[in-house]
Amino acid sequence: MKKIFFLFSFLLISNSYAGTDWVERGNAGFAIQCDSGRFRILDLFEAEQDGLALDQEHSSSVEERFNHLISKISQHNPSRANLYSQWYKDFYSGNETKFIPNVNIQPIDNNGYTPVPKNCQLFQVIFQRQPSEFNSARYNISKDLWDQLSPYDQAGLLLHEFILRELSTPPSAQPNSEISRKFNGWLNSTDSSNITLRKYLEKLRNMFIVRADYQTWPILLAYKDESQQKWIQLPLGFRKDDTVQQVTLEAKQEPTFVVGNQEFGTTCTTANNLKTSGLASFYPSGKLEYIHQGYIDSSAKPYIENCAVGTHFVESHLSITSQGWHFREDGSIIMANTNYFGDQAGAVVLNQAGNRTIAIRPGMSSPYIGFEFTAKGFITTMRFTGDSCRDSFTNSMIIYFTNVFADKTDVITWDYESFDKKLKSLKVCEF
């Protein structure tokens, strides 16, 4: 085999491209050979160096091995498994891949921390970059080196490329391939066989992998605080029996989700890459119990947005947007509640047919509002803490605080007649 480059001593390859757009510089997939031994991919070599035993199952072909690795992901993370499976199909179809004979691909330094023994050599097998005028194919592969890899290693290298493709783009935007290699090596090991959901999610969060799934819910595990150049782990809680207790829900582009028979929507206002509909708590059965906003520190606002969660009740012509929702195990709503502070105030919390509205007035502190529901989904009571007045122009109830320490609580039995009676009794707002 022709040597691409030589290493005369113990080598540490460091990443000098941190923060550079990988779409421009590209990414690499490496193999390693020590003395005249086995030619294999770097990820699996490092996994064994880390003390992991490699899983040798289902290795007769690239497809069989790749599908085996995907099955480990799909049991707990179907969205990621589906993404990688589609990229695998694309790899073998169309113009995504170009096998080039008789070439040496010049190594790209995107490995990060990579201790290479002095008797070993690295070889770049794949150059990956988004197709452009400079490279017509996404995956440009040294055919001579590819053919020297076993089907086992070829499958592992493909998975490396797909992980790297995902994690090199926002919101992950990893500056090098360290995490991709660690994740891939772990997936190829016996340590990831028959893994529990808890271990899988904790593993991903510890690697600062941003996204995952819980049942059909998209969830967030971490985000990067660019101002401090550090990763922040998001809440993730389990019970003693390893069932999920709390996760951070991601607000996807799709605007709706369903709990019980009620459809909910998320309203987001920024262009942030990451958006959350709140911290969710689940019953031991796996059914949703709470969604609650407001737990993310204000310093995270440039990087992750708290989106509002709301729903419309067709029979009663009610629309409610709330910071918190509490559900029975059958999916029916127990309570919706909101506690606004400072510049979060001002949002319309409830819209009622016939020009009946309740709105929040911004201030130093703003009131708590809660709605209680019957098991059939009808509002029975509205509770709020603060003062209220009537806007004579819109015939709306305005709730506000005149004193940060106010503790006045009012209760309205919820029906048209009671609400109208309350509204007429209010003084006209003077602001």
Q: What's the pLDDT at 8?
A: 27
Gyration radius of the chain over CA positions? 27
Q: 393 with 375: CB under 8 angstroms?
A: no
Q: 342 with 362: CB under 8 angstroms?
A: yes
Q: C-alpha angle 39/142/149, rounded to 5°?
A: 25
Interval 327-344 mean pLDDT: 74
In this prediction the pTM is 0.82
Structure tokens at 168: 């090199």
The 10s digit of each residue's pLDDT in 241-290 is 999 999 999 987 666 788 988 889 888 887 777 888 889 999 999 999 99
Q: What's the pLDDT at 160?
A: 97
Q: What is the DSSP string of 385-413?
A: ESEEEEETTTTEEEEE-SSTT---EEEEE
- Higher per-residue pLDDT: 424 or 174: 424
Confidence label for 12 from pLDDT (cuts 50, 70 and 90): very low
Confidence label for 402 from pLDDT (cuts 50, 70 and 90): low
- % of the chain beyond a pLDDT of 70: 81
Q: What's the pLDDT at 6?
A: 29
- Higher per-residue pLDDT: 429 or 239: 239
Q: What's the pLDDT at 55?
A: 96
Interval 180-203 mean pLDDT: 96
| Calpha distance 49→214 (Å, rounded) | 32
Element (H, E) at 100: strand 97-100
β pairing state of 114-116 and 11-13 = antiparallel
Q: What's the pLDDT at 388?
A: 82
Which parts of 143-270 are beta strand (E)?
211-214, 217-220, 222-225, 230-233, 237-238, 244-250, 256-259, 262-267
- Higher per-residue pLDDT: 206 or 368: 206
Strand partners, 211: 220
On the 0-12 / 13-18 / 19+ scale of CB atoms within 10 A, 384 is buried
Lowest mean pLDDT among 11-15, 195-199, 424-428: 11-15
The 10s digit of each residue's pLDDT in 59-88 is 999 999 999 999 999 999 999 999 999 999
Q: 341 with 312: CB under 8 angstroms?
A: no
Task: Report long-range pairs for 73-81 (Cβ below 8 Å, ≥24 apart).
Answer: 73/187, 76/195, 76/197, 76/200, 76/201, 76/212, 76/213, 77/200, 77/204, 77/212, 77/213, 78/213, 79/211, 79/213, 79/218, 80/166, 80/211, 80/212, 80/213
| Calpha distance 50→44 (Å, rounded) | 10
Q: Residue 419: pLDDT above 80?
A: no
The overall average pLDDT reported for the chain is 82
Q: What's the pLDDT at 67?
A: 98
Interval 350-371 mean pLDDT: 60
Q: What's the pLDDT at 281?
A: 96
Q: 327 with 334: CB under 8 angstroms?
A: yes
On the 0-12 / 13-18 / 19+ scale of CB atoms within 10 A, 142 is buried
Element (H, E) at 276: strand 274-282
Q: What's the pLDDT at 180?
A: 95
| Calpha distance 30→123 (Å, rounded) | 5
